[in-house]
Structures are given as structure tokens and as C-alpha cells.
Amino acid sequence: MRKKKIKSLVLFGNGINCEHETAYANKLAGFEADIVHVDEMMKHPKSIHRYAFINFPGGFLDGDDLGSAKAQAVKWKYQSIEGSGGRFLDELIKFISHGKIIIGICNGFQLLVKTGLLPGIGGEHEKQTTTLTANDSGRFEDRWVTLRVNQGSHCIFTKDMDKIYLPVRHGEGKCVVDTTDNRARMIDGGHIVMQYADEAGAVTEAYPDNPNGSIDSVAGLCDETGRIFGLMPHPEAFVHYTQHPRWTREALGVEGDGLKLFNNAYKYILENETGGF
């Protein structure tokens, strides 16, 4: 039976470099993915409402000037859209208010955090309370990690998931929170979706299982709706068993762990009829 085509948006340009892998993961899950340049999207911001799902892929947006994804976040928060007087961040908030979904991967996660869309404590999507900063190791980390999915999270992307295995590749992945109060609210509010774990699946802050030194071993966060999700690992880089580093030595299912996130996104939109298709 053919899947119903649901339109998704995948950004590229200005340093984003994982758009084709991300679009392919969308396609495997059933989406009809359009790859659109970030500058083109800024020229026509209301065009995002044609879609049900927005993907902010990994890369080095704007060359990571001012820090990872900071330059673009500043534009989205403070720059008025030509001809409308509003901000692009306003359109994203409206997009979410319509029941639609957003994922930010690695650099895309950094972007969502620095706009304030994540973790969105108390439903506040404009105030930055969290950042992703330089790894404790002082170097770029390129390795595979085990992730424990927080069963107390309401993230729609990780439904029926427990432990998964994905690659990371970043220099600024350490999650820190501005105040102890916000850290507690982030934990108590179910914003922590994924945590770095050892091979047995036990959450750990020890390097290299936790590759960057994130507080509370944070690898991924969601907002209160569970429909905005960001993570440092790359799910689009493990959608087929041959992408696993030990695929010739271990018995694996055909689908990679990362594809589960995109499958859940597709199922959520289809079941909730959030439009965009």
C-alpha cells in the first residue's frame, strides 16, 4: 500500500551540509521533501505553512560566526522580514501553534536552542535559557554513541523507543542551562528527550560515552508540546544497516535506528491530520 505523501521542508545553504541525507530519511519515512535554500525561505517566510514538517539539518550555518548557529538565530529573532514587519521566529511559532512539527539536528539543534524555541520552558519560545557550547574535550568529536530515551518525555519523535545508537560529529555539543531553577524545570517538565549512555544503556556523564560533557548527559531536548525536537546526534546518518560501523560483524535489522525518528514524525502527522499534504 502506497504511503500518503506528506510535504516536508529541508533547509540547505550558507554552511548547512546534511540536507540530502536528511531529505532521504524523510523520503524513506513517506514524506515528499522539498530542499529549500535558507535565504529563499527568509524571502518567502509564509511558504513554510505549506508543509507539515520542517527539518533544520546539520552543518556549519553561517560558518558558525559568533558561535554555532548564533548568527542565524539573531536574524530570526531580531531582523524584520521585508514587506511584513514581522520576524521569521514569529512564523515558526505560528507553525507550531497549528499542530505541526520541527526537528533540528546538530547545527539545527544549536539553532533551535539559540532562538529560544528549545527547550521552551513554560511555553516560552522566544527566551534563550540553554546553550550548546564547546566540548569539554576541547576538540571536534566524531564517534558513535549510545542514547537512552527518557520515558518521561512527551516527544512525539521518540514514541516507543528506549535505547538507540547514532553517530555524533560536533565541536560545540555541551548542553548548559542558565540557572539552577531552569535546569530543574527542564528536568521536571520532561524536556530532556535523550541522554548519553554506556553500552549497557545506563545514563552516564563519563567521557567518551558522553562526548561533550553535557549537564545531565543531555543529547536531545523537546519543548512542552513535544513537537519541537532537537538533538546533537545524526539520525539521518543511520537509516540503513550498512551505515552501522559494525554492519559486517553484527546481525542487524534492515532499518537503522535513526529512521525510527522520521517514521514517528510521519505517523504523528498522518494520525493528527496536521495539514501540509
- Mean pLDDT, rounded, of the chain: 94
**pLDDT 10s digits, 112-135:** 999 999 999 999 999 999 999 999
pLDDT top residue among 259 and 2: 259
pLDDT at 6: 95
Closest to 232 measured CA to CA, from 158, 155, 170: 170
Cβ contacts of 37-42, under 8 Å, gap ≥ 24: 37/11, 37/12, 37/13, 38/11, 38/12, 38/13, 38/14, 38/72, 39/13, 39/14, 41/9, 41/11, 41/88, 42/75, 42/81, 42/88
DSSP H helices in 59-161: 70-78, 88-97, 107-115
What does the block give as the cell for 103? 526537528
What does the block give as the cell for 61? 550555518
Is the pLDDT at 82 greater than 80, yes or no? no
The structural domains of the chain, ordered by start, are: 6-272 (3.40.50.880)
Single pTM value for the model = 0.95
Which of left, alpha, beta for 232 (phi over 0: left; psi -120 to 50: alpha)?
Answer: alpha
Active-site residue 106, yes or no? yes
What does the block give as the cell for 269? 502527522
**pLDDT 10s digits, 35-56:** 999 999 988 999 999 999 999 9
Active-site pick, 106, 155, 175, 222 = 106
Is the pLDDT at 275 greater than 60, yes or no? no
**pLDDT 10s digits, 170-195:** 999 999 999 999 999 999 999 999 99
- Can you tell me the distance from the alpha carbon of 67 to that of 210, in angstroms, rounded to the nearest whole number? 21
**pLDDT 10s digits, 6-25:** 999 999 999 999 999 999 99
Q: Is the peptide bond before 208 cis (omega within 30 degrees of 0)?
A: yes
What is the pLDDT confidence band of residue 79, given thresholds at 50, 70 and 90? confident
pLDDT top residue among 86 and 202: 202
